[in-house]
Structure 1
Amino acid sequence: MSMKNNLFAYLQKHHIHIDRHILSYMMCVVIAAILWFLNALNKEYTSEITYPVKYTDFPKGKYLVSTLPKSISLEIKATGFSLLRYRISTSFLPITLDVNGYSNHLLEKNNILEYTLQLKNIKDKISNQLNSDIKLLDIKPQEIDFKFSYAVSRKVPVHPIVDYKLKKQYILKNKINVTPDSILITGPAIIVDTLKYIPTEHWNIGEIKKDISKDIQLAQIPGITNSIQDVRVTLQLERFTEAQKSVPIKVIGLPDSLTIRLFPASVDVTYDVGLSMYDRVSDKDFNFIINYKDVGKSNFLPIQVTQSPSFIKNLAFSPQKVEYILEQK
């Protein structure tokens, strides 16, 4: 039974009534469209297709410091059948470029190795990665710039990124401890030479009232290889107390021909200190000064703090300024 008769039988079964002449016309239109489409696919067309690029075999001992295009545009010529088949079957296969194959053309400039690859010069290599029934006409971009830096290594400190809140009446016994406190990093010189430290990943602790430790991953910096991947971060806590001292005020910049009397001649100091460090604080650990250059600006001289123990907190002192009398020797 023919397709036409089958279609009529189906329409009659489902009580669908269409004039035979109209149906015949519709069938002719469909067949003509198919034949037209097949004929069109046999013709040659010019088209532009975007391909991803895969870079392989980078030069050893060198680091890429330029940004390479992730894809290239190829202008190709092929039959409609080939274009359709190629788009469906291989649209995501990358074009592979062997970078090391061009590394002997590198030129050094300001410690940077540079090379510009003209894609027209490797047109045949790219064309060989396409189907034989596709003709490669043009490539965009026309060139790719490669820039490499020499690999260097340097030891840098580790900087912990920690958020925490101390429970009332607690203080850090020491500064946050990191083990190891420094690591060896390797990478391009233009990056390694500018790094002052390697940060850890962020550690949000919340409120704490006792010692706490954790292994924390080091932050990954693009182009940089760390000698280790994590460090031990430790916070040691202890209770603190408020302490007080009276510390003499020093004068700087005073001419030898003059003497100065201060009212008062010392400051009263208060601060918070951990119990284990309480007896280690002395008057000599503080430095409160006035500067002779401030004389004459007012009847009072401002007091500046230029030195205090690193392990104390909430330092306060009184007064903030003093009266004075200058006398000839």
Structure 2
Amino acid sequence: MSATPSKKYFKTVFKKRKVSVFMVFFFFAVILWFLTKLSANYDSTISLNIHYYNVPQDKLLLNNSATTLKAVINAKGFALLGYKLHRKEVNVNLSNASHKGGKYYFTGTKLNNAISEDFSRNVTVRSVLKDSLVVNLGVNIEKDVPVVADVHLNFTPDFAIYDSLKISPDTIRVHGPQNMIDTLTRFKTEPLTLNNVSENISKTLKIVIPKQLSKLTFDKNQVDVSAKVERFSEKVYIVAVKVLNVPKGLTIRTFPSEVKILCKAAIKDFKNISADDFEVECDYESIKNKPSATFMIPEITSASKFAKEVTLQQKKVDFLIKKDDE
């Protein structure tokens, strides 16, 4: 007789249950085997990141120093698995290094000991897969470097800076390796453009530090930029022409005997300016060996301290030479 449907059902359930029990025991067996294996000691090659400490105060770690290495270690499987998943960082004490000139280095036993110091007692460093570990240090120095303001100003008509654009501080102190510091000549601020300027300027600007200098130390990262702004105008002053180095026995008259000077200054300062503040001179030496000369070139030799710009309106003056006994 064929099996009834109920008997077939129970047989199927029983078989599935047997498979499930088998899989559970198999899974636990694998885990126990895996744990047993990980509890044993093995030799394995691992990669390490290096962090240096006790760097001499007058030195700075350079970028071309070694930052990674490989080592063969003996440790339990659990530890090795952890080192494989997460690269270990070892701290290397530079006070234990040999050094010559600017280079610090570890070789042989010293290198092995330097790496071993950062592992637990349960880990043995068999060997380091590198003959030597070289650490390049630069000499730390300080230097004051000028700061230049990258400022572009467009003024309202008739307005201008009264004296000069001021930067405070105008230098910054930079600390770092000598080979980098020696190349520095100046730093620029972030760019600033102002339009229709008619009032005093006061801005704080960041100093632009190139990425390749990011490891240097700076005592300031910004400067204050300021300037007084005034309205300017122009005024003409009439000044007598003087002739220098005239030989005894000669008299020289210029035509005209007075010239016009166009003076540009802040409107507030014109009350402090007079024609007596200016001097215009010609030099007899410029024409004494030129019998055919008919004119001299006048020059402004003195001007008011309040004048921003001065322009001589006459580019040349005629002259007449007369002997005193004539």
Same fold (TM over 0.5): yes
TM-score, scaled to structure 2: 0.56
SS at match of 2:130: strand
Which is greater in Rg? 2
In 2: Cα distance, 1:169 partner to 1:251 partner:
36
Partner residue in 1 for 2:102: 115
Deviations 1:45-65 (A, max 9, x none): 999x8x7764444434x364x
SS of corresponding position for 1:272: strand
Q: How many aligned residue pairs are there?
A: 266
Residue 260 of structure 2 aligns with an amino acid whose one-letter code is D
Q: Residue 240 of structure 1 contacts residue 273 of structure 1 at CA under 8 Å; is this kept in 2?
A: yes
Residues 201-240 of structure 1: pairs in structure 2 closer than 5 A: 201-218=190-207, 223=216, 225-226=218-219, 230-240=222-232
Q: Does 1:316 align with 2:311?
A: yes
* Separation of aligned partners in 2, 1:75 and 1:269: 81
Aligned to 2:164: 175
Give the TM-score normalised by the residue count of structure 1: 0.55
Percentage of matched positions with identical amino acids: 19
Distance 1:139 1:310 in 2: 72
Paired residue for 2:139, among 148, 171, 175?
148
1:188-267 equivalences under 5 Å are 200-218=189-207, 223=216, 225-226=218-219, 230-251=222-243, 254=245, 257=248, 260-267=252-259
- CA change 1:264–1:233 in 2 (3 A) is same
Contact residue 52 and residue 70 of structure 1 kept, 8 A: no
Tell me if structure 2 keeps the 8 A contact 1:52–1:71.
no
Structure 2: runs of 5+ lacking an equivalent: 1-42
Does the 8 Å contact 2:147/2:172 carry over to 1? no
Is 1:162 aligned with 2:151? yes
Residue of structure 2 in register with 1:59 after alignment: 56
- Corresponding residue SS for 1:319: coil
Larger displacement relative to structure 2 (300-309 or 207-216): 300-309
Deviates more, 1:93-102 or 1:313-322: 93-102
2:29 is matched with none
